[in-house]
Structures are given as structure tokens and as C-alpha cells.
Amino acid sequence: MARHTKDSKKVDRPGRHVSQKTRVMVFGTFDMVHEGHVDFFRQARALARSTGSGKSKKPYLIVSVARDPIVARIKGGRPRRSEKERCALLERNTLVDEVVLGQEDGYIEHIIAARPGIIALGYDQTGEFVDRLEHDLTNARVKVKVVRLQAFRPEKYKTSKLV
């Protein structure tokens, strides 16, 4: 089972050989995990198999959970569950290999520490970090592919519509 640390250091599931896998990183609040999130994780994992290198690598999905103060600032209110509860919820998801807490200030160091080959963004992810992501990655000399994923029945599976 994946474990997390507050300082975003990697704590892997026992027995996983990470170097033989394509590291894919996603970000979010994850107050609940619904079918839209499950599809999001599946799409992100599928990116590892479609890297175009000719070799099929297995996915290693890293889920970065937004810190409570960040959620409050971006969404205008505290999350329904604490960051610790949200991490525990994701650790039980079999599609997730590693759970980390995001930074409280910034995000580049957090990404560098995770070493993803691909960053997968949700169809509706916007805001200060997303808008500057590719520019900031380039400035930090971090080479990572950024991919926007497709929506999965957003009229039904969107957290704001389910709560």
C-alpha cells in the first residue's frame, strides 16, 4: 500500500521496481474518489504505455494531494476531508502507486522530488499553478511531458455536482 509523507518525499509501495516504470504524476484535492477520478487515474496510467519509445513500460502513478491551506485559497473554502484523510482514501486505491502531499508554497520542488516523466492534468484543471506549469518547468530545466486528459461524463461525475 502506498504511504505518504508530509514533506513529499517518496515512500513507495513495498516490492515495486520504480526504475522500470514510467512515472506519471497527477494533482488534485480528492475530497472523494468518484468514477470521474477513476477514469482520470486510468487515462493517466495509459500514458505510460503510449510514450512512443517503442518499448512498453508499466505505469507508476503518483498522486499529489493538495494541502488544506491551498484548497481553501483556490476553492474558497476548506476541503470536506483533511489532507491526511484524503491521502488515506487514495492510498487504498489500487490504481495509485504513490501518494504525496503537495507543497504549501510553490510546486516545482515537489515535482522535481517526484521525478515524473509525464504530468497528466484533468480536463478542468485551471488556476495559477496549471496556467504557469509548462513555463515554470522550462525555467527550472525540468524535462517532463505535460498532457491534458479527456473528460469522463462531466455532467455526472464532477465533485462539485456530487457534494
Report d(CA 98, CA 16) in Å as an integer: 10
pLDDT at 158 over 70: no
pLDDT confidence bin for 97, thresholds 50/70/90: very high
pLDDT-derived band at 71 (thresholds 50, 70, 90) equals: confident
User: 77 pLDDT band (50/70/90 cuts)?
Assistant: confident
pLDDT over 70 at 96, yes or no: yes
Mean pLDDT for all residues in the chain: 82
Is residue 68 a contact partner of residue 82, using CB atoms and an 8 Å limit?
yes
pTM of structure:
0.81
> What does the alpha-carbon distance between residue 65 and residue 90 come to, in Å, rounded to a whole number?
9
Instruction: Find all residues with CB under 8 Å of 24, minimum gap 6, and list them.
Output: 44, 45, 47, 48, 59, 60, 61, 62, 116, 117, 118, 119, 120
CATH of domain 21-158: 3.40.50.620
In the chain, where the domains are located: 21-158
Instruction: Check residue 24 and give its pLDDT.
Output: 97
pLDDT of residue 128: 75
Q: How far is 158 from 56, CA to CA, in rounded Å?
A: 32
Where b means 16+ CB within 10 Å and e means fewer, 7-41 reads ebeeeeeeeeeeeebbbbbbbbbbbebbebbebbb
- Judge whether residue 9 has pLDDT over 70: no
Cβ 67 vs Cβ 100: under 8 Å: no
Q: What is the pLDDT of residue 5?
A: 37
| pLDDT confidence tier of residue 57, bands split at 50, 70 and 90 | confident
By DSSP bridging, strand 118-121 and strand 21-28 are parallel
Q: What is the mean pLDDT of residues 6-19?
A: 46
Cα(74)–Cα(133) distance, rounded to whole angstroms?
16
